[in-house]
């Protein structure tokens, strides 16, 4: 049996595992990441890469605190990647336009963003048409968020992988961590023919976390939620910014590709696109910007979001273990929240105080029979 030792063993090479590995490696920790398939190929690859603004790291809202911390940290992560000469991830503050049919809805939305500290400009039909003449007639009002950014997430992940490897992080493919037992509190786990000996362990396995915890807490409340995306080939600058209607959106990339997303489906671990899902997305695109109806569909894909009941991640020590931290369940916001998640997780793993208050992210709340504090769940052999 091959024995591998490290300071931190990370399960899952998605955006959260890789960003945390990078921060730990920069601090000088030795890190190994294991992934059950290939690294950087699941939800973090499939997402759209929208990064909404946030400016309140001391807010009472846990969501706003983490979003704001992440917004603050995105430029720092980008700098780290640039310093390591990794692939350009096309991070850009591109702005977004949230579209509405009714004035009162647009006004409420603008107010909400302004309260969060963001610039949110309300448009009526005239200013909307002069700002975005491509928009279809159904949309009369809009809230413009000029501070919204996007990242081209497949490139960001490639860049993170490069950075981690350059700093000596070992990333192992086809290395599926089995369901956890009490054994991990001893700092040892066997995966296939390899034994890993570690000081700390970090669980970043997205939609699969419930399977990993199935012997510890059957029914851990994070479930896969499929999202499909259709990709059109347009001309660069065909759309002036991201366009959003509720939970659906059009995201223009710099080279003219346009992502049309996305569905929200509870179909277990099925991760294929469907004719019906893609057609729905294409109808949506043509409804928002009629001229998109003529564009070629060049690609379509699906990913599994780690859906949690309150749509917020679990970040903290796994109850009953002093050496295991969990960072899973980011649902629709895992790319956006990855810098903040990594900052919190690496602080916890290094025995430091996290940079923001982490109340509201307790893993306990997703344990079966949890009643807010401790569930009484006991790890089983
Ligand atoms: C269609 C779609 C659009 C989205 N758009 C956005 C967006 O615009 N903005 C945004 O912020 N978020 C978006 N998201 C959500 C975001 O993609 C996810 O929240 C985020 O990627 C979760 O990252 P993760 O690292 O936790 O999980 P993942 O990227 O899923 O990575 C988990 C990894 O763990 C591995 N793994 C699992 N179990 C094991 C095991 N037992 N052993 C070893 N490895 C294991 C998996 O193979 C995988 O590589 C979108 C998601 C989808 C599907």
From atom 18 of ligand 1, which residue's Cα is the shortest distance away? 334
Q: Which helix (H) or strand (E) holds 26?
A: helix 15-26
- State the residue for tokens 């390899």: 194
- Alpha-carbon distance 203 to 195, whole Å? 17
| Best of 21, 206, 227, 264 for a ligand 1 pocket test (most atoms within 8 Å of beta carbon) | 206
Q: Establish whether residue 15 lines the binding site of ligand 1, counting it when its CB lies within 6 angstroms of any ligand atom.
A: yes
pLDDT of residue 183: 85
pLDDT of residue 171: 98
- Please say if the pLDDT value at position 332 is more than 70: yes
Peptide bond into 106 cis (omega under 30): no
Distances (CA, A) of 355 to 68, 73, 280, 316, 365: 11, 11, 41, 13, 21
Q: Establish whether residue 342 lines the binding site of ligand 1, counting it when its CB lies within 6 angstroms of any ligand atom.
A: no
Q: Establish whether residue 333 lines the binding site of ligand 1, counting it when its CB lies within 6 angstroms of any ligand atom.
A: yes
All structural domains of the chain, each given as residue ranges with its CATH number in brackets, are: 2-87+153-220+309-366 (3.50.50.60), 96-148+223-307 (3.30.9.10)
For the CA atoms of 210, 212, 27, 53, what is the dihedral angle to 10 degrees? -20
Q: CB neighbours of 47 closer than 8 A, spacing ≥ 6?
A: 153, 227, 303, 334, 335
From atom 37 of ligand 1, which residue's Cα is the shortest distance away? 205
- Please say if the pLDDT value at position 370 is more than 90: no
Query: How many distinct helices (H) and strands (E) make up the chain?
Result: 9, 17
- Alpha-carbon distance 12 to 34, whole Å? 6
pLDDT of residue 219: 87
Q: Establish whether residue 335 lines the binding site of ligand 1, counting it when its CB lies within 6 angstroms of any ligand atom.
A: yes
| Best of 9, 11, 14 for a ligand 1 pocket test (most atoms within 8 Å of beta carbon) | 14
- Please say if the pLDDT value at position 373 is more than 70: no
Q: Establish whether residue 227 lines the binding site of ligand 1, counting it when its CB lies within 6 angstroms of any ligand atom.
A: yes
- Alpha-carbon distance 81 to 162, whole Å? 9
| Best of 9, 12, 172 for a ligand 1 pocket test (most atoms within 8 Å of beta carbon) | 12
Measured in degrees and rounded to the nearest 5, phi and psi for residue 196 equal: -105, 130
> Which burial class, exposed, middle or buried, applies to 244 when counting CB atoms under 10 A from its CB (0-12, 13-18, 19+)?
buried
- Please say if the pLDDT value at position 147 is more than 90: yes
Across the range 122-148, mean pLDDT stands at 95
For the CA atoms of 284, 287, 289, 292, what is the dihedral angle to 10 degrees? 60
Q: Which helix (H) or strand (E) holds 164?
A: helix 153-166
Collapsing DSSP to helix, strand or coil, 141 comes out as strand
- Alpha-carbon distance 301 to 154, whole Å? 13
With beta carbons less than 8 A apart as the criterion, state whether 255 and 229 touch: no
With beta carbons less than 8 A apart as the criterion, state whether 282 and 260 touch: yes
- Please say if the pLDDT value at position 374 is more than 90: no
The CA 43 to ligand 1 mean position distance, Å, reads 3
Ligand 1 nearest atom to the CA of residue 16, by list position: 25
Ligand 1 nearest atom to the CA of residue 262, by list position: 1
pLDDT of residue 371: 45
Dig out the tokens for 99 from the structure. 């579209």
From atom 51 of ligand 1, which residue's Cα is the shortest distance away? 47
- Please say if the pLDDT value at position 284 is more than 60: yes
pLDDT of residue 182: 86
Ligand 1 nearest atom to the CA of residue 251, by list position: 8
pLDDT digits (tens, 9 = 90+) for 10-68: 999 999 999 999 999 999 999 999 999 999 999 999 999 999 999 999 999 999 999 99
The CA 22 to ligand 1 mean position distance, Å, reads 17
The CA 45 to ligand 1 mean position distance, Å, reads 7
pLDDT of residue 369: 63
pTM for the model stands at: 0.96
Ligand 1 nearest atom to the CA of residue 249, by list position: 8
The CA 103 to ligand 1 mean position distance, Å, reads 35
Other Cβ atoms closer than 10 A to 17: 34
pLDDT of residue 368: 77
Q: Establish whether residue 150 lines the binding site of ligand 1, counting it when its CB lies within 6 angstroms of any ligand atom.
A: no
- Alpha-carbon distance 127 to 72, whole Å? 31
DSSP category for residue 6: E
pLDDT digits (tens, 9 = 90+) for 154-178: 999 999 999 999 999 999 999 999 9
Work out whether the CA dihedral 289, 291, 297, 299 comes out positive or negative.
negative
pLDDT digits (tens, 9 = 90+) for 108-130: 999 999 999 999 999 999 999 99
Confidence of residue 69 (pLDDT cuts 50, 70, 90): very high
- Alpha-carbon distance 68 to 66, whole Å? 5
- Alpha-carbon distance 335 to 232, whole Å? 22
């Amino acid at each position: 049996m091959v024995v591998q030792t490290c300071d931190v063993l990370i399960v899952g090479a998605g955006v959260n595992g890789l960003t945390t590995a990078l921060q730990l490696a920069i601090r000088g920790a030795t890190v190994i990441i294991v992934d059950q398939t290939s690294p950087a190929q699941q939800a973090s690859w499939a997402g759209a890469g929208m990064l909404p603004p946030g400016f309140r790291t001391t807010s009472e809202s846990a969501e706003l605190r983490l979003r704001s911390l992440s917004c603050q940290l995105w430029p720092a992560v980008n700098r780290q990647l640039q310093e390591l000469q990794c692939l350009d991830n096309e991070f850009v503050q591109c702005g977004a336009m949230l579209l509405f049919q009714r004035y009162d809805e647009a006004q409420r939305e603008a107010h909400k963003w302004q309260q969060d500290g963001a610039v949110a400009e309300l448009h009526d039909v005239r200013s909307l048409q002069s700002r975005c003449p491509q928009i279809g007639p159904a949309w009369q009002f809009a809230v413009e968020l000029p501070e919204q950014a996007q990242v081209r997430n497949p490139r960001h992940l490639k860049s993170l992988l490069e950075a981690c490897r350059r700093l000596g992080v070992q990333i192992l493919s086809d290395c599926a961590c089995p369901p956890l037992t009490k054994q991990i509190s001893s700092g040892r786990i066997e995966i296939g023919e390899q034994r890993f000996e570690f000081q700390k362990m970090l669980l970043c396995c997205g939609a699969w976390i419930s399977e990993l915890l199935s012997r510890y807490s059957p029914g851990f409340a994070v479930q896969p939620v499929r999202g499909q995306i259709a990709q059109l080939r347009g001309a660069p600058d065909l759309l002036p910014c991201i366009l959003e209607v509720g939970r659906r959106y059009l995201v223009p990339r710099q080279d003219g590709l346009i992502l049309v997303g996305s569905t929200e489906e509870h179909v277990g671990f099925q991760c294929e696109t469907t004719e019906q899902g893609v057609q729905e997305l294409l109808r949506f695109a043509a409804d928002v910007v009629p001229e998109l109806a003529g564009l070629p569909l060049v690609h379509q894909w699906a990913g599994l979001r780690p859906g949690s009941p309150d749509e917020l991640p679990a970040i903290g020590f796994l109850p009953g273990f002093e050496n295991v931290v969990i960072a899973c369940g980011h649902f629709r916001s895992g790319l956006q929240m990855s810098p903040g998640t990594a900052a919190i997780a690496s602080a916890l793993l290094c025995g430091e105080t996290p940079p923001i208050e982490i109340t509201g992210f307790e893993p306990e709340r997703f344990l079966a029979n949890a009643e807010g504090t401790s569930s009484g769940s006991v790890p089983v052999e």
